[in-house]
Chain A
C-alpha cells in the first residue's frame, strides 16, 4: 500500500548506508546498492497494482505521490538502467577513491528520478528535481580538478532551468491556488492567456535544460565527458529523459487545446530538428569518444522532442519508443566506451585503435549500439525512426522530415568514426596487452545489446506500455501489433518478415563464405596489407584517424563557425568585465557599506514626501 515511500526511502537510505559502509566495512558497499536497486526494481514492477495515491503534508504543502501509466514507463526505464549501471560500476569503480561519495550521489540521483516521475504535486517534483541536479553536479565534478569549470557550467544552466520551473510554479500557484498536478491539469485553461503562455515557455525551458535542447545544450558534452562512465550511462540514458518526461506533460496536459498550442508545437518541433542537425555535425568532428556520444545524445533527444511536439498519435508513439530505445542504446555505448577507458585509460579516438580482437564483447556491444542509433533494421532503432518519418510526412511536415533525415544520415558518419577509430583500424603496439573488460562489465552490456534486437523484432513489447502512457497523456490511440507497424495511409511494415529475410540471407551467405573452399586460415597482422608494392615496417604509422572527415568539413564550409558555446563564453566574459566595475561599488569594506546605508537613509529623509506621501 505504501510502495512509493518505501521505494524512495530504500534508495536514499541505501545511498547513505553505502557512504557509511565505505568508511567502515567497504565490502558491503557494492552489495548494499545492488541489493537496494534490485528490490527497488521489484517494487517499481508491481507499482501499477497500487491504485491509491500517497498523501501527507509537510508544513503547508500537501504532498501527493502516485503512479500513472506515463510515469510507470519512465520508472521502469530508470530501474532497469540503474540496475545494469550499478553492476557495471561495481567492477569499473573498484579501487577508485571516494567511493562513498560516488555511490551516495549515484543513489540520490536514482531516488530523485523516481521521485520526479511519481510526484503528483509540483512541490515534490521541484524538490526531487533539485536533488537530481545536485547529485548529478556532484558526480560531474567527481573525477578531477579540471571538472570544476565544467561543473560550474552545468550548474549555471541547471540553475537557469530550476528558476524557470520555480517561476512557473509561482505563476501557477498564484493563478490556481493549487499545486496538485490533477487540479492544475483540469483547471489550467482558466488562467489568463499571458500566464498560460509564460508557464508553458518557462516549463519547457526548465525541462529543456536537462534534455539538452539547443541552445541550452552547451553544458552536456563536457559534463558527460567528465562524469564516470557508469554514471554517464544514467546521465544520458535516464536523467536526460526527465526533461522529456516534463516536456511531455507540459505539451499534452497543459498546452494542448490552448490557442497558442499549434505555434508552440511548430517552434518546438523545429528546435528539436535543428538540435538534431547541428549536434550531429558537431559530433562528426569530435576527437573524444565520450564527447562524440554526448553530441549524439543531444541529437537523439532532438528527434524525441520533435516527435513529441508534432503531437499526432503516431509521432508520440515514435517519440516514446525512441525515448526507451535511446535509454538503452546510449547506455550501451557509454558503457562500452567506459570499458575501453577501463583498459586503456583514454577515450581519445586518435589514441586507441584496433581493439576488436582484444575486446570482442565490447566491440559487439558498440556494434549493436551504432546499428541501433543508425536506425538500421532489424535492431530497435529502426521501428522508432520509421514511425517518426511516417508521422512527419503524414502530418504535412515535409521540410522537417528532410532536416531529420539529413541529421540521421549524417549520423552514420560519426557512428562509423566512433567504432572504426576505437575498435577497427591498425593494431598498435601501445594496446598490445589490452584484455577484455571484466565479466561484471561485459554482462550488463551484452544483455542491453541483445534487448535492442528483441525490441527491434517485437516492438509491440514496448508499444504496450507506451500506448498506456499515451492514454494518460490525452487519449491518443495508434494501432499496432507485436511485430507489425502501421502508418496513417494504410501501409505497414512487417518486422517478422524483414528479420526473417535479413537473417535468412545473412546466415546462408555466412555459411557459404565460411564453408566454400574452407581451409585453416592464418591471421595476418594489420601491417600485412596491400600498399601498392611498398612493404610497411613494423613501426610505420598507418592509422587513419586524425581529420577523418576532412572532405565533409570542407563541404560544410562555414556552417559550423558560429557556436552557441562561444556566444555564452563571450556573454560570460562581458558580464565578468562589468562585475569588475561593480567591484568599485561593492568594495567589501564595511565603512563604504555604512556610507551607502547613510546615503540611503538621507535620500529617504529628503524625498520622503515624494516616496511615502508623508514627511518624516
Chain B
C-alpha cells in the first residue's frame, strides 16, 4: 500500500490553518464589535489565550458519557466538513478528500455536529440547554430551505453536484457564480446569516434569555474543544461559500480577503440588529429568501 504523503500532510495542516484563521477572525470580530459600540476591545490574540487557558483546566465533574462525547461530535463534523471542501483552487495539497464527496454529502455532514452536540447537552438535563436545542433545530429547518433552493439552482445550472466541478466552471472573474446566478447568491447569503448565528438570528445562544443555552454545562477542556470546533467550522463554511460563489481562491492571500469580506456580512448585520423571536426568525427564512431561491430555480429552468 503506497501512502500519498502529500495527502497526509494536507490532512494534518488544513485543520491547523483553519483553527488559526478561525480564531484570529474571532478576535478581529470582537474588536470590530467593540469599536461599533464605542469601546476598545480585547487584543486580537485574546481568543488564543482563552482557548489555551480552557485546555489547561481540569474537570472533576461528569454529566455522563453522551455529554462527554458532545464536543467530540462537534469537532468531528467541523473537521470532516473541512476535509471535503477544496481549500485552494487546483492545489493538490489542500484538495484533501474533496473528490470523495459532493455538495449533498456536505449538507448532511454539516448537521452531524449540531445533532451530536444536541444529544450531549440533552444529557446534562439543563432546561435552558434543551430550550436552546429546540430553538436551534427549529431555525435550522428555516434556513436550510433557501440554502438548498440556492444549491439546487446552481446544481442544475451547471449540471454537477461536485465542488471541484463548480470551481472549474469559475475559471475567470466574470464567470464567478455570484455573477452567473446572482439570485441564488442572494438566497444563499440570507440563509448564511442564519447559519452563522449572529443577531438577529442568535436565538440559540441568546445569553440574556436562556443563559447561553446549549453550551451552558460545558467548561474547561470541553468548552475549549467546542471553541476550536466552532472556529474551524466558521472557516469551513466561509471557504465553502467562497468556493461556490466567489470562484474559490488560488492562494492564501486571496482566500483571506474573500472569506473576511464574506464574514463581515453576518457580523455587521449582527452588530446593528436586535434579536428575533424564534418563530420570527423561521418565518423570515420562509419568506423572501425562499422566494429568491424559487426564482433562482425558475430562472435556470426558463433558460433551459
Q: Interface residues, chain A, CB within 8 Å of chain B?
A: 354, 356-357, 367, 371, 374-377, 382, 385-386, 389-390, 393, 396, 398-399, 401-402, 405-406, 409-410, 412-413, 416, 419-420, 424-427, 487, 489-494, 497-498, 501-502, 505-506, 509-510, 512-514, 516-517, 519, 521-524, 526-532, 542-544, 548-549, 551-552, 554-555
User: A382 vs B108: C-alpha distance in the bound complex, in angstroms?
Assistant: 8
Within 8 A of A (CB), among B201-218: 211, 216-217
Q: A425-B123, A502-B112 are in contact. List 11 more A-B contacts (CB 8 A).
A: A374-B115, A377-B105, A377-B112, A402-B145, A424-B66, A487-B161, A506-B72, A523-B63, A542-B125, A544-B134, A555-B286
A505 lies within 8 A of B75 (CB)? yes
User: A527 vs B217: C-alpha distance in the bound complex, in angstroms?
Assistant: 12
Say how far B63's CB is from chain A's closest CB, in angstroms.
Answer: 7
A552 lies within 8 A of B279 (CB)? yes
Q: Which residue of B lies closest to A411 (CB)?
A: B141
Contacts of B161 in A (CB 8 A): 390, 393, 487, 489, 491
User: A519 vs B60: C-alpha distance in the bound complex, in angstroms?
Assistant: 7
User: A371 vs B116: C-alpha distance in the bound complex, in angstroms?
Assistant: 9
Say whether B57 faces chain A, with CB atoms less than 8 Å apart.
Answer: yes
List 29 A-B residue pairs with CB atoms under 8 Å apart, sorted by A's residue number: A393-B152, A396-B156, A398-B301, A399-B297, A405-B144, A405-B148, A406-B145, A416-B115, A420-B119, A420-B122, A420-B130, A491-B102, A491-B165, A493-B105, A494-B100, A501-B79, A505-B76, A509-B225, A517-B56, A519-B60, A521-B61, A524-B63, A528-B61, A530-B217, A544-B127, A551-B135, A552-B282, A555-B279, A555-B283
Q: In the complex, which of the residues A375, A426, A555 contacts B108, with contact meaning CB atoms closer than 8 Å?
A: A375
Contacts of B128 in A (CB 8 A): 530-531
B interface size (C-beta, 8 A) = 81
Q: In the complex, which of the residues A390, A412, A531 contacts B115, with contact meaning CB atoms closer than 8 Å?
A: A412
Q: B51-69, CB under 8 A of A: which get 1 and which 0?
A: 0000111111111101011
User: A502 vs B220: C-alpha distance in the bound complex, in angstroms?
Assistant: 24
Among B100, B128, B149, B162: residue with most chain A CB under 10 A: B100
User: A385 vs B108: C-alpha distance in the bound complex, in angstroms?
Assistant: 10
User: A128 vs B200: C-alpha distance in the bound complex, in angstroms?
Assistant: 59
Contacts of B62 in A (CB 8 A): 521-524
Say how far A235's CB is from chain B's closest CB, in angstroms.
Answer: 28
Say how far B153's CB is from chain A's closest CB, in angstroms.
Answer: 8
A551 lies within 8 A of B138 (CB)? yes
B221 lies within 8 A of A513 (CB)? yes
Q: In the complex, which of the residues A406, A516, A522 contacts B61, with contact meaning CB atoms closer than 8 Å?
A: A522
Q: B85-117, CB under 8 A of A: which get 1 and which 0?
A: 000000000000100111011001101100100
User: A382 vs B57: C-alpha distance in the bound complex, in angstroms?
Assistant: 38
B104 lies within 8 A of A497 (CB)? no
Say whether B45 faces chain A, with CB atoms less than 8 Å apart.
Answer: no
Known: A393-B161, A514-B68, A530-B211. A413 touches B137 (CB 8 A): yes
Say how far B294's CB is from chain A's closest CB, in angstroms.
Answer: 8
Say how far A256's CB is from chain B's closest CB, in angstroms.
Answer: 26
Among B141, B145, B277: residue with most chain A CB under 10 A: B141
Say how far A390's CB is from chain B's closest CB, in angstroms.
Answer: 7
**Pair count A-B, CB < 8 A:** 228
Say how far B127's CB is from chain A's closest CB, in angstroms.
Answer: 4
Say whether B133 faces chain A, with CB atoms less than 8 Å apart.
Answer: yes
Q: In the complex, which of the residues A410, A425, A501, A527 contacts B141, with contact meaning CB atoms closer than 8 Å?
A: A410
Known: A402-B145, A419-B119. A493 touches B102 (CB 8 A): yes
B97 lies within 8 A of A497 (CB)? yes
Say how far A361's CB is from chain B's closest CB, in angstroms.
Answer: 13
Known: A405-B148, A498-B100. A529 touches B134 (CB 8 A): no
A401 lies within 8 A of B152 (CB)? yes
Q: In the complex, which of the residues B57, B66, B124, B144 contacts A517, with contact meaning CB atoms closer than 8 Å?
A: B57
Say whether B248 faces chain A, with CB atoms less than 8 Å apart.
Answer: no
Contacts of B301 in A (CB 8 A): 398
Q: Which residue of A lies closest to B155 (CB)?
A: A393
B133 lies within 8 A of A420 (CB)? yes
Q: In the complex, which of the residues B108, B119, B142, B278 contacts A367, with contact meaning CB atoms closer than 8 Å?
A: B119
Q: B166-197, CB under 8 A of A: which get 1 and which 0?
A: 00000000000000000000000000000000
User: A95 vs B133: C-alpha distance in the bound complex, in angstroms?
Assistant: 41
Known: A491-B102, A502-B80, A551-B282. A513 touches B68 (CB 8 A): yes
User: A371 vs B144: C-alpha distance in the bound complex, in angstroms?
Assistant: 18
Contacts of B66 in A (CB 8 A): 356, 424
User: A424 vs B118: C-alpha distance in the bound complex, in angstroms?
Assistant: 10
User: A357 vs B59: C-alpha distance in the bound complex, in angstroms?
Assistant: 20
A501 lies within 8 A of B278 (CB)? no
Q: Which residue of A lies closest to B144 (CB)?
A: A409
User: A28 vs B135: C-alpha distance in the bound complex, in angstroms?
Assistant: 53
Q: Which residue of A lies closest to B135 (CB)?
A: A551
Say whether B256 faces chain A, with CB atoms less than 8 Å apart.
Answer: no
